[in-house]
Structure 1
Amino acid sequence: MAETIRRPGLDPQGFIAREGSLARVPDAFRPAVAAARDQLSAAFGARLHSAYLYGSIPRGTARVGRSDLDLFVALREEPAEADREAVRALGAAVDKEFPQIDGVGTLLYGRDRLLSDLERYDLGWFVACLCTPLLGDDLAEYLPRYRPDSLLARETNGDLALWLPRWRERIAAAEDTEEARRPLVRFMSRHLVRTGFTLVMPRWNGWTSDLREMAEVCGRYYPERAAQLRTAAEHGHEPVGDAQVLRSHVDDLGPWLAAEYTRVHGVKAPRPEWAGASTPAGTR
């Protein structure tokens, strides 16, 4: 009988295990987390449904002076522009006060959207599996458990083809300097590696948030793209300001990945914001 392979990131029943915890937050980052928690509570009061950490800090892999503080905030109603300005100001204040973090990024949504059928296998999954509760009533209690299947793959990253034209616009609008290109390289490299991983996630049957491991896993199924994916993972950690890297992302690796994703998993259910002028939240 063939041995059953148990992949990382799953619980004994084969569901994706929630990653991260407050206990894993490195000591150097605890003051910044505490300040963010207190300021979120003060800023939104009873309108705040819940708040979460995600990313390297609750996973315990953050690097002092290099990692950002990632926050996910759920309000009891849909946020207004004033709410978005409030989290931008909060993030700037925390970033200025604590040199151990390299920026603060905050995703802000209303509770009803996060629990909607449309977002159940995207934002809902993100909260339930990749976010660590910081304040309030945990939305994961109202969401299902998730397996690393094709439905999850489609609804998390099956919209890359829609992103690519907007990426090209961002590249064209950026200043022609290495400093201006570096954050674009970091952002797009991470998005492509994560999309490559979820492309093969159902076959691999596991979960990881480690960019290098994501690239290696995808490269096993697409060896002709393995070197590109490994390089993109490195640029996700240590970005360069090379215009050629950006061109390769939007003219080669990105279009191939978008087409293969559609072939294998189909297209993500459309979101209303794609039809309007607003820009959806960035890759998570």
Structure 2
Amino acid sequence: MILEKVINKIEIQSEHKDFVDKYVDNIRTEFKGKIHSIYMCGSIPKGTAKPFKSDADFTIVCENPKDIDYERLSNIKDRLLEEYPVVTKIDTTICSIDDILNKPNEWGFWVKIIGVCVYGHDVGEKVPPIIISPEFIIDLNRETKEEVDRIHRSLSNASDNTMKTRYIKGYSKRLIRALYSLVLEDTGVWQDDMIKMKSAILDYCEIDSALVDYLYACYLDSHVPVEEFLGIVDEVYSYFEDALKAMAASRNSFG
């Protein structure tokens, strides 16, 4: 079964149009000649974003990610967040053209299936069709442990309440996405709607439904005790890791 693109048509609402245009212009000006293309995913390009509640997710594709200075990028994000409070947060991922073409089940998936091109030539068109399979699901999650460990450390060390709630929301979202990836062979589509992800996980995963409900509740309202949250997410990740290992073992036994 071939994965279909999540967003087929860009429908940015008027409340966010100026912000997206300004972000693209700032990035192109600051890193002149080094940007191949820029992509968005999530509610803003779908036209379902909620002013003052939704964040913005960008991916910058370039020849060499080292050409993009993170401090300069951070300064752009800070300026735009001040100018456009309609957006709650700006996340930017950076990758190379080689990443996308050489890792189709990881970076290729991110650009071809989840992202939509808002500037430049869409390199996702060069990525071959992505077939839903255990191999794809395992490849898709190769960096999940590293990402989860990073957020775990950041949350453990956070002293500011605003940052704590941001990390809890992000951590919850990342784990829901990871659990959803386990059931792709059952659903046949990649969802970016969190409630639909949750429903599919409850339908097809053998994980304790209370854990999934807790994660989703934290995604919606992240004002929970940090120690309590970390204990729950450790249990969730343990389930996910065991399921992924079982998938790999099953694949190898038939390979």
Provide closer, same or farther for how the CA distance between residues 201 and 124 of structure 1 changes in structure 2, counting only shifts above 3 A. Answer: same
Determine the structure 2 residue equivalent to 1:279: none
The answer to whether structure 1 residue 190 and structure 2 residue 169 are counterparts is no
Which residue pairs with 2:245 in the alignment? 262
Once residues 76 and 8 of structure 2 are traced to their aligned partners in structure 1, the CA distance between those partners, rounded to angstroms, is 23
Aligned partner of residue 79 in structure 1, secondary structure: helix
Conservation of the 8 A alpha-carbon contact between 2:191 and 2:197:
yes
The answer as to whether partners of 2:56 and 2:90 remain within 8 angstroms in 1 is yes
1:201-240 equivalence runs, <5 A: 201-222=184-205, 224-240=207-223
Deviation at 1:22, TM superposition (A): 5.9
Give the Å deviation of 1:60.
2.0
- Percent of aligned pairs sharing the same letter: 17
Q: What is the distance in 1 between the residues matched to 2:20 and 2:8? A: 12
| Matched residue type, 1:101 | V
Distance 1:78 1:182, change over 3 A: closer
Report the TM-score, using the length of structure 2 for normalisation: 0.88
- What is the distance in 1 between the residues matched to 2:79 and 2:29? 14
Q: For the residues of structure 1 that align with 2:232 and 2:97, how far apart are their CA atoms?
A: 38
Going from structure 1 to structure 2, the CA distance change for 1:137 and 1:218 (only over 3 Å counts) comes to same
> Is 1:20 aligned to residue 7 of structure 2?
yes
Structure 1 residue 77: Cα displacement: 2.3
- Alpha carbons of structure 1 residues 164 and 51: separation in structure 2 relative to 1, 3 Å: closer
The answer to whether the 8 Å contact 2:155/2:168 transfers is: no
- After TM superposition, give the deviation of residue 171 of structure 1 in Å: 3.4
Correspondence 1:71 to 2:58: yes
SS of the equivalent of 1:109 reads strand
Question: How far did residue 158 of structure 1 move?
Answer: 4.5
Q: Match of 1:122? A: 106
Separation of aligned partners in 2, 1:166 and 1:91: 21
Show the counterpart of 1:53: 40
Aligned residues of 1:68 and 1:102 also touching (Cα < 8 A): yes
- State the superposition RMSD in angstroms: 2.1
CA-to-aligned-CA distance 1:203-222 (integer Å, 9 cap, x gap): 23222111111111111123
C-alpha distance in structure 1 between counterparts of 2:78 and 2:191, whole Å: 30
TM-score, reference length from structure 1: 0.80
Offset at 1:200? 1.2
Q: Which runs of 5+ in 1 are unaligned?
A: 1-13, 267-284
Higher helix share: 2
In the alignment, which of 71, 88, 92 is matched to residue 102 of structure 1? 88
Residue 223 of structure 1 and its aligned partner are, at CA, apart by 5.0
Whether 1:157 aligns to 2:144 is no
Task: Please name the residue that 2:230 is paired with.
Answer: 246
Shift of 1:174: 2.0
SS of the residue aligned with 1:195? Answer: helix
